[in-house]
Structure 1
Amino acid sequence: MTKAASNISNHVDDSGRGLRMLFGMLWRGRMIIGICVALGAVFGVMSASQIEPRYRAHGKVMFDVQQANVLNMEDMLLASPLFDSSALENQIQILSSTALIERVIDELELDKDPEFNPLLRVEKPSALDKVRDLVDVGATLDALRQRLSGAVPAQDEQQNTTARDRSHLVRLAVISNVRKGLSFRPVGRSRVIQIAFMSDNRATAAKIVNTVAEKYILDQQETKQEAARAATVWLAERVDELRLSVQTAEEAIETARSEISDRTGQTLEVTQQQLEALNLEFAATQAALSRQEVLYNRLTDFLAQSTDFGTVSEFRDSPLIQQYRIQLEDLLSEQSILRASYPEGHPSLQQVSEDITTVQTSMAQEAQRIATSAGLDLQGIRAQEASLLAEVRRLEKLALEQTRSEVDLRQLSREAEASRVLYESFLARLQATAAQEDLHEADARILTRAEIPLFPQSQSKSLVLTMFSMIGAIIGVGIVFIRTLVNTTFRSLGQLELVTGQHLLGVLPFVGRYKTRVRVFQYLLNKPNSVLAEAIRNLRTSILMSNVDHPPKVLMFTSSVPGEGKTTTAVMTALTSQQMGKSTIIVDCDMRRPDLSQFFTSPHGNNGLIAALHDDAPLEEAVFQDPETGLHVLMTETGGRSARVNAADVLSSQKFNDLIERLTETYDLVILDTPPTLAVTDARIISKRVDSVIYAVRWGSTARGAVVEGLKELESVGAPISGVLMTMMDVKKSGRFSYNETGYYRSTFKNSYVKP
């Protein structure tokens, strides 16, 4: 299939192909469907006439949900849930609950009403009631009534059924009957629920609706009161638990404090204050130590390198060194004066020099003493630092231990405080809940009370009539579907191609129910522009185009079984080819049932195919030209020798092969009309000597299995099958079956270019 053809096919699939097929099938079976619907309506009318009038009463209740206060414990425990889409459904389930229905039954004494108690019914069910019970859940209750009333009980059941069992079963039957008559429906998107009841008694219907609403309100109030009482009990138990928890927590705190005091001897606050003071003192000591180390190092370095004590402030500020420096200056001045007056070595100069040396030595000793004193101070500061550090470490360890104890103590305090707060809160809620235990209101209220209905509800009769009519329609459609499924013939072109796996060469329309093959042939001659003529021309084109490089010259027409139109098609194809200027001859190869004699009358008498093969007559005399159509025909003689020959031997002979070759040299197109494939083996024998095999299939007549089997017979001998041909197709009907809608478009546009 080409890309364009594939696109067209996909577009066709999107154009409602399946719907047309479905509607076509239903339209063909409209009589069956109509009869089934009519029968269903008759049964529906009969059933509806037996239905007693029933009355429907209805009322309305509003489900008023109050929003809970998340800061109020009582609201969280007792308030209804917030309204959502499922809230009304939950209330409907409550309305239809067995507990509420039982309260209604007890209030109105419905178990004493024959409408609900099957034991009190005296009338026997009619045959129509039994039929209705087959599709009605009430049938179970009717059977229960018969068993309980002893109408048809088994002897063993009578012996085993106790009074309590009978009472329980009757109770269940009454509850089921009441529930069957009740219905609930939310009104729009509001919080209103409509309650309705269907009953044989109009007053009973209204009473049941009103009682259901009242019991529902009462049930809500009782539920809230029960919840409040349960909450009070729960709160009381919780308060007792919290009281013990608070007492235990406070005792644990006192025990922890006593243990901390005994172990440390002082509180954490005192330890922290001491540690803070020591840290300050330790920091000051470290600073003093640093300064003293600098001073000591500076003094010792100076003493090792210089004797000018005036350059160092510590030496310069010493009173003794200041005195020595004054003496030294005086001695130096005196030495200068003496040197000016006395020569070197003079006793006075020597004495002055000795005094200068003595002063300098004393000054150095004093400086050394100052440095030694600084070193002693340094050692003292270091000892003080070590002492302070040890004390800081001791206090830090003590503080860490006290901190851990305090953490545990604070945790105990927090737990005690939390328990105390929770205890006080629950105690207050308990007191409030106990005071308001009996003050709760229902979340629903009655909007509309049910009134006694004035007219019976006619919906059940129309529903029964509609139901039976629909059942009839379903049965009719089912019958139509079954009829379609059991049809094993080919009803569409796509189906033919899909099942056979062969290319579709053409489609020949059905031209008349009562026309014989000869009249069909005459119809083609008289109406060359008809749909049939156009179909034959399309067939010829498809055959020749099946092999463009080597167009076939010898064509063989065959089919699965007789009566599929292969001979008529072969004759019309030959005629059309002759009319188009191609020299054509048609050969009747069916020696058992030669059919060309119905179309043509040979002027040569018994001279035909058999005579030519047996050399009883030359080929030129065996072939004759029809004077009306100009078509060359080689017929098989009827009777005589043709009845005695073995067709398979003749057709497989070399003479028959030579005959075909001579005809091929003489004519542009040779058409062979052969017997059906499944009837005899002639078609398989001839198929090996032709260029193209055209397999005819009658629309809506030939079984699919027969066609598949016939094609297998030909394929087994290597026959050159060009494709299949659909014959005698009802174009209008095929449009309803067609997979690819070819029949639909043919039936729609067939008259646009051709005349019927």
Structure 2
Amino acid sequence: MDGLIAIVRRQWRVVGLCVAVFLALGIGYLLTAVPRYTARTSVLIDRGNRQVVEQLSTIGGVMDDEASVLSQVELLRSETIGLSAVDRLKLQDDPEFMGGRRNPLLAAASEIRSMLDVRRWLRGDGPVRPDESEAQRRQALVRLLDNMKVSRVGRSYVLEIAFTATSPGLAAAVAGAIADAYLTDKLDAKYDATRRAGNWLQERIEELRQRSLESDLAVQRFRAENGLVVANDKLVSDQQLTEMNSALTVARADTARTRARSERIEAIIASGERDAIVTDALDSSVISSLREKYLESSKREAEISRRLGPDHVQAARLRQDMAEYDRLMFDEIRRIARSYQSELEVARSRERQITQGVRSATDISVAAGETQVQLRELERAAETYRNLYQTFLQRYQEALQQQSFPVTEARIISRATPPSAASEPRPSLVLALCLALGCGVGGAVGAFREFRDRFFRTGEQVRDVLGLEYLGSVPLVEPQPGGSPPAEPLKGEVWRKNGLSAFATAHPSSSFAETLRSARIAADVHIDRAHKVIGIVSMLPGEGKSTIAMNFARTLAGSARTLLIDADLRNPGATRTLGPHAQEGLLDVLLEGRAPASAMLTDPDTGLRFLPAVVKRRTPHSSELLASAAMGRLLAQVAVEFDYIVLDLPPLGPVVDARAIAPRVDGFIMVVEWGGTSRKAVKDTLNAEPQIAGRCLGVVLNKVDAARMKLYEGYGSSDYYASRYTHYYHEAHPDPMPVSTGAASRMKTAREKPDDSR
């Protein structure tokens, strides 16, 4: 979120400019646009007429699903409806409809486009088409379809037709004509469909009638040829087989019943059970009479035996009578058994006869069934032709009736009226769209600018990308008028004063000076040596490396013995600034063996010693000179006399001089131009120079735009509170503080004393 807010703060001007441009374009469009009016009419797909339409029509039925309603929408947009409306109102001859008022800007753009149409030049005027009226009619149709809109109202069965024109009356007339053309087309379509259906049905009816007659005759001929006699819609053989099967079932049941009675009575006779009873025995009058006599004799025998004793003559005679009665009853049962056996034989004979008849009928039915397969096929064909004939005949009668029924399932529920207000352009919508486009384009441009911004802006980027200490930022300082050295040297002058080279000492309370003091602390902390060799490097030329080196050396010279060496033998910027008229320099010391002190210049204000690089000719082997033993002896010699030796080294990108002298340097200070040097380039260069990266004390961001720096401050970061630091910084030159003569003399003496006494 902080990053997004920071991006908005940086790019809001771009977004605002784009919004202003698009709003200006929108306002210009609104001022020059021709007002257009939209008239609307509504058509209902009336489901209330469903019963009437279904009763009177079987073609073009009532719509039930959404696809059908959407199909009606497409029908309203079709060329058929459009051409019908064009012909109704003669729109091809209406100059207002065909030409109309146009936006001046669009008209001018169209004219320019037509003038620049190369194909028109190559084609020429060409021959005039013979049917010009048809071409105008088609052109009117295109205009009508372009300005017409048909939509469904929600999920209802209402279709809304809207037409937009430059005149309210024309818009209402065209919208109404489209609705009327739609209803007329529905009626015409129904009439044409029924008429075509009637003609086609009439042809098919005659053909089906003939085929139905032929199929019926074929069925009758086949029956006669194969003897398939039918009674009550069923073959006689099949009826006989059914009846015989029923009789066989009955016969088998009778046989089973008589067999059961015969077997039962035979079992009784075989077991000699005189008390067993069968049904026919109960029905026999003989057995009933004998049983009555038997019971009467048994009763008298029991009474006599009780009174006179069982051995009485009368009792014995009665017992003999009872035995006779029992024998006679058993004989009667045997007679009944013989009758059962006779009935069983009769039932078996009848069953055999019926079974033989069923077999014969079955053979006949099987033979008839095989023939019936062909018969049924002929019957099905005949039935099909009869049904088709009846159906087509009925449809034909309905089609004849439908041609005179002017009934459709659509009706107009809202007629188009001339609108009172213009529908286009809509100022609020146009301005909102322009605002959205402006914000979108501005956001895209701002995002592109942010994407392309791959430079160092804050100290956090230095730490995150390079993994080095951030020493501080140096604001962009414009050269003061008159600060550059004159073309001709003054008498006895060897050291030139320049505003930028001495800005830190001239403004000791500025953020510039504070950053250099931070660099000194980093050097004191990380370099554990009494005599420190510090190299000032940058990635690219022009990043202000020499200016930082001169100010840093002067800051160090205020309290320590400091030597500044211009080691940039190809582009000695420090020499051009501080000693443009020097006669001897570093090359003379290294190549000719001169004493370093003879080539040094001295700053009268701070006591800074400066060894310039007087380049009298091109030096292509500068890296070899910096890595030579002579350079090593020079550094060892001056290390005895100075506490700090500051080397203004060439940039790392173009040349390898800094890499050559890296082993003799205790620490490097990397100068990076704020908003001017790619983060990737610096990172890749330091990764390729591990000796320099490993000894880098930190990074100084140079040429910082203080006003734009505020836009890159992250909430809670050290840069965020930079505005509070201004209470401790005074960029303007402060008024000189009163210093006593003794104090001044002590300061001067301290500056002139050897470094060993400090």
- TM normalised by structure 2 equals 0.59
Letter in 1 for 2:42: V
Q: Show the counterpart of 1:677.
A: 652
The residue matched to 2:59 in structure 1 has which SS? helix
Query: Secondary structure at 1:208's aligned position in 2?
Result: helix
SS at match of 1:727: strand
Maintained 8 Å contact 2:504/2:513: no
Q: CA deviation at 1:674?
A: 0.9
The 3-state SS of whatever aligns with 2:160 is strand
Tell me the residue number matched to 1:521: 504
Report the CA distance shift for 1:734/1:90 in structure 2 as closer, same or farther (over 3 A).
Answer: farther
Partner SS state of residue 685, structure 1: helix
For residues 142-291 of structure 1, the aligned pairs below 5 Å read: 157-158=126-127, 161-162=128-129, 164-180=130-146, 182-184=148-150, 191-199=158-166, 203-236=169-202, 243=209, 247=213, 250-251=216-217, 254=220, 257-258=223-224, 259=226, 261=228, 266-278=236-248
Q: Secondary structure at the match of 2:66?
A: coil
C-alpha deviation, 1:687, in angstroms: 2.8
Q: CA deviation at 1:653?
A: 1.5
CA contact (8 A) 2:672 2:702 kept: yes
Counterparts of 1:720 and 1:482, CA distance in 2 = 36
Distance in structure 1 (CA, Å) of the matches to 2:137 and 2:96:
13
Are 2:549 and 2:646, in contact at CA under 8 Å, matched by a contact in 1?
yes
Query: 1:204 and 1:709, CA in 2 relative to 1: closer, same or farther beyond 3 A?
Result: same
CA contact (8 A) 2:22 2:437 kept: yes
Q: How does 1:543-562 map to 2 (within 5 A)?
A: 556-562=535-541
Contact 2:601-2:609 within 8 A present in 1 as well: yes
Separation in 2 of the partners of 1:411 and 1:574?
A: 121
Q: Answer yes or no: is the 8 Å Cα contact 1:104–1:212 preserved in 2.
A: yes
Are 1:79 and 2:61 matched, yes or no? Answer: yes
Aligned partner of residue 261 in structure 1, secondary structure: coil
Cα drift, residue 80 of structure 1: 4.0
The equivalent residue for 1:490 is 455
**1:97 positional shift:** 3.6
Partner amino acid, structure 2, of 1:514: E
Give secondary structure in 2 for the equivalent of 1:58. Answer: strand
Name the structure 2 match of 1:566: 545
**Contact 1:44–1:468 under 8 Å retained in 2:** no
Task: Tell me how far apart the structure 1 counterparts of residues 112 and 64 of structure 2 sit (CA, whole Å).
Answer: 41
- Is the contact made by 2:534 and 2:665 (CA closer than 8 Å) also made in structure 1? yes
Give 1:360-375 correspondences, 5 Å limit.
none
Code of the aligned partner of 1:157? G
Correspondence 1:133 to 2:98: no
AA at the equivalent of 2:240: V
- Is 1:511 aligned to 2:475, yes or no? yes
CA–CA distance in structure 2, aligned partners of residues 555 and 699 of structure 1: 22
The letter for the 1-side match of 2:176 is N
Answering whether residue 616 of structure 2 is matched by residue 652 of structure 1, we say no
Once the two structures are superposed, residues 182-201 of structure 1 have per-residue CA deviations (whole angstroms, 9 ceiling, x without a partner) of 5556566651514334145x
- Cα deviation 1:30-58 (Å, max 9, x = unaligned): 3x8757875x579758x82xx7x766362
Aligned residue for 1:561, secondary structure, equals coil
Residues 650 and 281 of structure 1: CA distance in aligned 2, closer, same or farther (over 3 Å): same
Aligned length: 634
Q: Flag the 1:34–1:594 CA change in 2: closer, same or farther, 3 A.
A: same
What one-letter code is carried by the residue in structure 2 that aligns with 1:589? A
Q: Distance in 2 between matches of 1:439 and 1:483?
A: 69
- The one-letter code of the counterpart of 2:241 is T
How many angstroms does 1:684 deviate by? 2.7
Q: Show the counterpart of 2:88.
A: 107
Offset of residue 698 of structure 1: 1.3
The answer to whether the Cα contact below 8 Å between 1:509 and 1:730 also exists between their aligned partners in 2 is no
Q: Secondary structure at the match of 1:267?
A: helix
Partner of 1:687: 662
Secondary structure at 2:185 match in 1: helix
What is the one-letter code of the residue matched to 1:559?
A: S
Change (3 A) 1:473 1:663: same
The one-letter amino acid of 2:722's match is K
Amino acid at match of 1:131: A
* Deviation of the 1:575 alpha carbon: 9.0
Q: Does structure 2 retain, via aligned residues, the 8 Å contact 1:588–1:673?
A: yes
Displacement after TM superposition at 1:636 (Å): 1.9
CA contact (8 A) 2:466 2:683 kept: no
Displacement of 1:589 in angstroms is 3.0
Deviation at 1:439, TM superposition (A): 1.8
Q: CA deviation at 1:268?
A: 1.8
Distance 1:274 1:645 in 2: 134
Q: Distance in 2 between matches of 1:284 and 1:417?
A: 45
- 8 Å contact from structure 2 (residues 42, 160) kept in 1: yes
The AA in structure 2 aligned to 1:56 is Y
Q: Is the 8 A contact 1:242 1:419 kept in 2?
A: yes
The Cα shift of 1:402 comes to 5.0
Q: For residues 24 and 610 of structure 1, what CA distance do their matches in structure 2 show?
A: 55
CA contact (8 A) 1:37 1:476 kept: no
Instruction: Rate the CA distance shift 1:85–1:271 in 2: closer, same or farther, 3 A.
Output: closer
1:439 aligns with 2:418: no
**Deviation string for 1:666-714 (max 9, x for gaps)?**
9998764312234544223113444665543313334789868966985
Hey, what's the Cα distance between the residues in 1 that align with 2:396 and 2:524? 102
Distance 1:622 1:199, change over 3 A: closer
Q: Is the 8 A contact 2:563 2:610 kept in 1?
A: no
- Pair 1:35–1:312, CA change in 2 (3 A): closer
CA distance in 1, matches of 2:261, 2:588: 149
| Partner of residue 589, structure 1 | 567
| Post-superposition offset of 1:269 | 3.0
1:413-436 Cα shifts (integer Å, max 9, x gaps): 677667656654554444344224
Q: Distance in 2 between matches of 1:82 and 1:663?
A: 104
Q: What is the letter of the counterpart of residue 78 of structure 1? A: G
Does the Cα contact within 8 Å between 2:38 and 2:171 map onto a contact in 1? yes
Q: 1:225 to 1:645 in 2, by over 3 A?
A: closer
Match of 1:751 in 2: 723
Counting only pairs closer than 5 Å after superposition, residues 335-346 of structure 1 correspond to structure 2 as none
Identity of aligned residues (%): 22
- Alpha-carbon distance in structure 2 between the residues aligned to 1:541 and 1:669: 13
Asked if 1 retains the 8 angstrom alpha-carbon contact of 2:59 and 2:190, the reply is no
- Which position in structure 1 is the counterpart of 2:747? none
How far does residue 247 in structure 1 lie from its aligned partner after superposition? Answer: 4.8
Quote the Cα distance in structure 1 between the aligned partners of 2:652 and 2:672.
Answer: 12
Query: Partner amino acid for 2:650?
Result: P
Compute the displacement of 1:564 (Å).
0.9
| Worse-matched range after superposition: 205-214 or 262-271 | 262-271
For residues 520 and 208 of structure 1, the distance between their equivalents in structure 2, rounded to whole angstroms, comes to: 82
1:354-753 maps to which residues of 2 (within 5 A)?
A: 399=365, 424=390, 427-451=393-417, 457=422, 459=424, 484=449, 490=455, 502-503=466-467, 505-506=469-470, 508-509=472-473, 511-514=475-478, 517-518=500-501, 520-522=503-505, 525-527=508-510, 533=514, 537=518, 556-569=535-548, 588-591=566-569, 635-637=610-612, 639=614, 647-657=622-632, 672-678=647-653, 680-690=655-665, 695-702=670-677, 714=689, 720=694, 726-730=701-705, 733=708, 748-751=720-723
Distance 1:466 1:12, change over 3 A: closer
Partner of residue 66, structure 1: 47
Partner residue in 2 for 1:316: none
The equivalent residue for 1:318 is none
| Structure 2 CA distance for partners of 1:461 and 1:491, relative to 1, 3 Å | farther
Separation in 2, partners of 1:649, 1:255: 127
Aligned to 1:214, the other structure's residue is in SS state: helix
Say if 1:522 and 1:157 are closer, same or farther in 2 by CA, change over 3 A. Answer: same
CA distance in structure 2 between the aligned counterparts of 1:100 and 1:555, rounded to whole angstroms: 90
